[in-house]
Chain A
Amino acid sequence: MPSTPPSTDTAAPAGTAAEPGQLGRLLPWLLLVAGLVGSLAAFVLTIEKLASAADSNYIPSCNLNPVLNCGSVMDTHQAQVFGFPNSLLGIAGFAVVAATGAGLLAGACFARWYWLGLQLGVTAAAIFVHWLIIQSLYVIGALCPYCMIVWAVTIPIFWYVTLRNLCAGTFGRPLRTSAPTTSGNHLVPVTMWFLIVAALVLHRFSAYWTTLV
């Protein structure tokens, strides 16, 4: 069936060659490490939330100064959009990401539907995280360090899963050009993404940062 291979991941030869090129080596490690870091941050946030729920005078470990302060962020309704702490979503979601990375390292070959599901999950996560960034910066007016770790891992997870799926043809036809994945070009968009968020953070709290200089 010559017309089907481009649309199915399983058409790729089995074994270590299942994931193409540079991304094939990078992606499993990225998913494993970023997934573990994200899980850990979400886990710590949940513990802090439980501790402050049990004791209203509890001072979270991430209350560093008036701007870097998760106490004021955790108490907002934005921190429990769905009626429970957002961090519970993180514990579940990042665990799946880490497990996917570990699976790839172990030589697993995931079907197209799995990659589509992962894409759906990381896209939702990226949208949610960017909404939270806006809320944290412009509505709550404080930064929560553990939440920022979650921002920092979600962005590359989304970018690299999307890039992988584009190149592997998970969405239909694989990307013709290999330009985005060769010679480290894939680093440029994700770096710019980080810098834009960093610029927004610096700009929003510039009045505070300058008092520290």
Chain B
Amino acid sequence: MSRGLKISAALVAVFTVVAAVILSTTGTTAEPDTTSAPGGSAAATAVVRPDSHRLSSAPQGSPVFVEFLDFECEACRAVYPAIEQLRAEYGDRISFVVRYFPLPGHFNAERAARAVEAAAQQGAFEQMYQRMYDTQADWGEQQVPKDALFRSFAADLRLDLAAFDAAYADPATAARVAADLADGQALGVQGTPSFFFDGRRFEPSTYQDLTDAFDAALD
């Protein structure tokens, strides 16, 4: 083996090790320290973050209902009308929080989350959130990027397109989505939709389960 070949092989080896270390450590630091705080109030801090998006005007200290969702997930689309109805009924008394959980198997899920996040930066989180579900049948389950379609939603909402494009492509936007995903994974979320109510995992099977829990918390 010649000297040049040895040097090259060494460079490749060092690079591989460094890259693997950096990738694996950033992967773990993105996850919050929930492992050291099982259940209770400490876990609640990871269920909702200060920058998490709220879909209601409930006052500070209201019970918090969190949904980890994927805009391309059909089950999320199926519960969406129920969530909208709950929001109409309880939105003034219960905080509705949305967290991104784009599943890797859904081709456009992460893009949709980025589009919603980019819209959120212009104060249009709710409108884009609704638009994604209203149009899911048009773009879901397809293996081609729907960037242009998502951009057209931003245009329909009369957003500043230059700012939208910049935010959509900004690694910080992707990181914001990834941070929600990492929080969800740390909380044990594996699929969507996954709900948390007042910091605890909540698995309603009927609409009644939800209203009962809300009523009980409000009493």
Q: Complex Cα distance A207/B30, Å?
A: 10
Contacting residue for A213 out of B24, B110, B169, B175, CB 8 A? B24
Q: Which residue of chain B has the shortest Cβ distance to A186 in the bound complex?
A: B4
Q: Which residue of chain A has the shortest Cβ distance to B18 in the bound complex?
A: A199
A142: B residues at CB distance < 8 A: 145
Nearest CB on B from A52, distance (A): 9
Contact A204 B5 (CB under 8 A): no
State which residues 1-60 of B face A: CB under 8 Å. Answer: 2-8, 11-12, 15, 19, 22-24, 26-27, 30
Contact B12 A59 (CB under 8 A): no
Q: Which residue of chain B has the shortest Cβ distance to A141 in the bound complex?
A: B169
A65: B residues at CB distance < 8 A: 104, 107
Q: Complex Cα distance A191/B50, Å?
A: 45
**A193-213: contact bitstring with B at CB < 8 Å (1 yes, 0 no)?**
001001100101011111111
* A202/B23 contact (C-beta < 8 A), A59-B144, A185-B3 known: yes
Q: Which residue of chain B has the shortest Cβ distance to A139 in the bound complex?
A: B169
Contact A71 B144 (CB under 8 A): yes
Contact B181 A211 (CB under 8 A): yes
Is there a chain B Cβ closer than 8 Å to A63's Cβ?
A: yes
Q: Complex Cα distance A142/B107, Å?
A: 13
B110: A residues at CB distance < 8 A: 66, 208
**B161-200: contact bitstring with A at CB < 8 Å (1 yes, 0 no)?**
0000000010100110010010000000000000000000
Contact A66 B11 (CB under 8 A): no
B171: A residues at CB distance < 8 A: 204, 207
Identify whether the interface residues of A are mostly helix, strand, loop, or mixed: helix
B26: A residues at CB distance < 8 A: 206, 210
Identify whether the interface residues of B are mostly helix, strand, loop, or mixed: helix
Q: Complex Cα distance A33/B6, Å?
A: 23
Q: Which residue of chain A has the shortest Cβ distance to B31 in the bound complex?
A: A210
B174: A residues at CB distance < 8 A: 207-208
Q: Which residue of chain A has the shortest Cβ distance to B109 in the bound complex?
A: A66
Contact B11 A213 (CB under 8 A): no
Nearest CB on B from A51, distance (A): 12
Q: Complex Cα distance A141/B174, Å?
A: 11
Q: Which residue of chain B has the shortest Cβ distance to A140 in the bound complex?
A: B169
B15: A residues at CB distance < 8 A: 195, 198-199
State which residues 57-78 of A face B: CB under 8 Å. Answer: 57, 59, 63, 65-66, 69, 71-72
Is there a chain B Cβ closer than 8 Å to A192's Cβ?
A: yes
Q: Complex Cα distance A183/B7, Å?
A: 11
Q: Complex Cα distance A183/B181, Å?
A: 49
Nearest CB on B from A68, distance (A): 11
Contact B104 A207 (CB under 8 A): no
* A191/B8 contact (C-beta < 8 A), A183-B2, A206-B23 known: yes
Contacting residue for B19 out of A186, A192, A199, CB 8 A? A199
Contact A195 B11 (CB under 8 A): yes
A183: B residues at CB distance < 8 A: 2-4
Contact A63 B144 (CB under 8 A): yes
State which residues 139-170 of A face B: CB under 8 Å. Answer: 139, 141-142
Q: Complex Cα distance A72/B108, Å?
A: 12
On B, residues with C-beta under 8 Å from A are 2-8, 11-12, 15, 19, 22-24, 26-27, 30, 104, 107-108, 110-111, 143-145, 147, 169, 171, 174-175, 178, 181
Q: List 18 A-B contacts (CB under 8 A).
A: A63-B107, A63-B143, A63-B144, A63-B145, A142-B145, A183-B3, A183-B4, A184-B6, A188-B4, A188-B7, A195-B12, A204-B171, A207-B171, A207-B174, A207-B175, A209-B23, A210-B23, A210-B30
Q: Which 9 A-B pairs have the closest CB atoms?
A: A184-B4, A184-B2, A191-B8, A210-B27, A72-B145, A185-B4, A187-B4, A183-B3, A184-B5
